[in-house]
Amino acid sequence: MIDGILTGLQTAFSPINLLMVFVGCFAGTFIGMLPGLGPVSAIALMIPITYGLDPASGLILIAGVYYGAIFGGSTSAILINAPGVSGAVATAFDGYPLAQRGQAGKALAIAAYGSFAGGTVGAILLLVFVPFLAKVSLSFQSADYFALMLFGCTAVAAFSGKGQVVKAILMTLLGLMLATVGEDPSGIQRFTFGNADFYDGISFLLLSMATFALAEALIVVLRGSGGSATASDLEKDKLGSMKLSSDEVRDIAPAVGRSSILGFFVGILPGAGATIASFLAYGMERNAAPGDKKEEFGDGSHRGLAAPETANNAASTGSFVPLLTLGIPGSATTAVMLGALLSYGVQPGPRRYIDSPAVFWSVIISMYVGNIILLVLNLPLIPYISKLLSVPRQLLTPIILFFSLMGVYLVSFNTIDLSMMVAIGAIAVVIRILDYPLAPLLLGFILGGMLEDNLRRALLIWDGSFAFLWQRPITATIMVITLLTLLIPVIGSLRDGRRARHPDPFME
């Protein structure tokens, strides 16, 4: 294994391969910044270019594009509330408010550091524990996934401001309901009205672009030009500042550490992926935060930005575990990667890291190099990128509208998606005016599909009995954690309530 790692290091640090990582990261960042174009499209675009290269270089280029695209996605989420990839949706929750407060540079820097940390921890875990990790990804059954998704739902608390718990729960339910649109696993059409365009359900990216970017732009239009203070009215020179005080670093660091590990392990599970990891990390950090820090979430919390951004990069690294050890792609992106591997005649699998260590280890090591290059590449660019916000609203709003609509269209080439997006965007504006939070809607939607599929499978396998909830150790453990997460704040606030004679502890 040491020999393998050394061979890998040698391959990864050859000048041509360093150039490949650089080119990949650079191209990926720009593709990822365009709303709608994510790692899948970026890699698919790159594959033909890599045909002429030798396998290690080709894969390194692709790994670079992959990281770049994920990173680029968070830039557009922070600056214009238009997450370029679904993994960056949770980044927008706190990143965009921060940018609006004139701290775009700081927000982008936190995202860059978070991504870097997540990728680093992920790469190290991958390097050290590969053979063991394959077993972890195979120990999870449908019942455990169900429990994990249920645990994810407890993150709803993280998305509800003061006195909004009921509203947040309602929005989560709406999200769960929207997730049922389409053909269900028993082959039955639900809410498709016989229209083939709805068979595949609503895409998460469409929903998040409509509720965030589009709704935001529409609200700006509704308010008129003189309405709110825009970033351009704020101190322009502060926009690009990316200085973090040592207090801020100390505040973020533990969140980054926790999120890297959580993200990585969620990433290992086939099907869970970076998006769910980022939501789980966001929820976990909110629940773990002390009282006053909790209030900041959703309103420009540094932790709230660092957590999902770290987790989604760690998860992206983790998602290579099932791919490299079993040849099983856990996500659309890794499926495209598998295609690329196969066209080089590299069949990933349990023996791969023994049979051809050069390819295996150089891919893993170049992932890490990719992380470093991303940081080096992006930090100097941040002051310039964040100046985007000083573009006057009258110009910026049409640009946002154009790119978000274009992004969704480029994914599906379906005009129905555009109508659907505009309709959802209009509804989202009404929802926002009524002061309902929209993030829980996305939470419910992203978890809903997996929640239902896994519950269905677990029930089928257990012949309709719910016994798996306590008979399977992993499921039971996650269920206990879920219950504790739900109960501890309630008990705490009951106690506080009694002391302070709080009128309604549940409205905390």
Partner 1 sequence: MKQRGLQWTASRLARFAGTVCLLLCLAFSGSVSAADRVHFLIPGGAGGGWDSTARGVGEALARSGLVEVASYENLSGGGGSRAMAHLIETADRQTNTLMISSSPIILRSLRNLYPQSYRDLTPVASVVVDYGAFVVRVDSPYESWQDVIDDFSANPRGVNIAGGSSRASMDHIVAALAFQKSGVDARQMKYIPYNAGGHAMVGLLSGETQLLSTGLSEAIALADQGEVRILAMTAPDRLERVPDVPTLVEQGVPAVFSNWRGFFAAPGASAAQIQQFRATLSALFETDAWRTIRELRGWTDFHVTGDAFDTFLDQQEQDMAVLLRELGLLE
Of 63-71, 324-332, 382-390, 391-399, which segment contacts partner 1 by CB under 8 A?
Answer: 324-332
- Measured between alpha carbons, how far is 71 from 306 in angstroms, rounded to an integer? 13
Contact call for residue 457 and partner 1 (CB under 8 A): yes
Please report the DSSP string for 232-259 in residue order.
GGS-HHHHT-----HHHHHHHHHHHHHH
Choosing from 123, 328, 428, 439, the residue that interacts with partner 1 (CB under 8 A) is 328
- Measured between alpha carbons, how far is 349 from 359 in angstroms, rounded to an integer? 12
Q: Is the dihedral of CA 193, 196, 201, 203 positive or negative?
A: negative
Amino acid 395 reads L
Nearer to partner 1 by C-beta: 45 or 494? 45
Nearer to partner 1 by C-beta: 40 or 364? 40
Residues 6+ positions from 89 with CB-CB distance below 8 Å: 77, 83, 204, 208, 212, 275, 278, 279, 442, 446
Of 67-75, 382-390, 412-420, 487-495, which segment contacts partner 1 by CB under 8 A?
Answer: 412-420
- Measured between alpha carbons, how far is 242 from 256 in angstroms, rounded to an integer? 18
Choosing from 229, 236, 254, 343, the residue that interacts with partner 1 (CB under 8 A) is 343
Q: How far is the CB of 231 from partner 1 (least distance, A)?
A: 36
- What would the two tokens of residue 303 be? 């932790």
Amino acid 222 reads L
**183 bridge partner residues:** 189
Q: Which of residues 351-410 bind partner 1 (CB under 8 A)?
A: 351
Nearer to partner 1 by C-beta: 86 or 142? 142
Report the 10 Å Cβ neighbour count for 457. 16
Q: How far is the CB of 65 from partner 1 (least distance, A)?
A: 13
Residue of 481, 387, 374, 476 whose CA lies nearest to 152: 481
Choosing from 10, 141, 287, 485, the residue that interacts with partner 1 (CB under 8 A) is 141
Q: How far is the CB of 200 from partner 1 (least distance, A)?
A: 6
Choosing from 132, 199, 466, 506, the residue that interacts with partner 1 (CB under 8 A) is 199
- Measured between alpha carbons, how far is 135 from 138 in angstroms, rounded to an integer? 5
Choosing from 12, 25, 33, 40, the residue that interacts with partner 1 (CB under 8 A) is 40
Contact call for residue 271 and partner 1 (CB under 8 A): yes
Roughly what angle, to the nearest 10 degrees, separates helices 89-98 and 439-461?
160
Determine whether 237 is exposed, middle or buried from the number of CB atoms within 10 Å of its CB (0-12, 13-18, 19+). Answer: exposed
Identify the three-state secondary structure at position 183.
strand
Of 122-130, 192-200, 372-380, 487-495, which segment contacts partner 1 by CB under 8 A?
Answer: 192-200
Contact call for residue 329 and partner 1 (CB under 8 A): yes
Contact call for residue 105 and partner 1 (CB under 8 A): no
Q: How far is the CB of 182 from partner 1 (least distance, A)?
A: 10
Q: Which of residues 458-487 bind partner 1 (CB under 8 A)?
A: 460-461, 463
Residue of 152, 385, 109, 126 whose CA lies nearest to 252: 109
Which parts of this chain interact with partner 1 (CB under 8 A)?
40-41, 43-44, 51, 137-143, 183-187, 189, 196-197, 199-200, 270-271, 322, 326-330, 332, 335-336, 338-339, 342-343, 345, 347, 349-351, 412-414, 453, 456-457, 460-461, 463
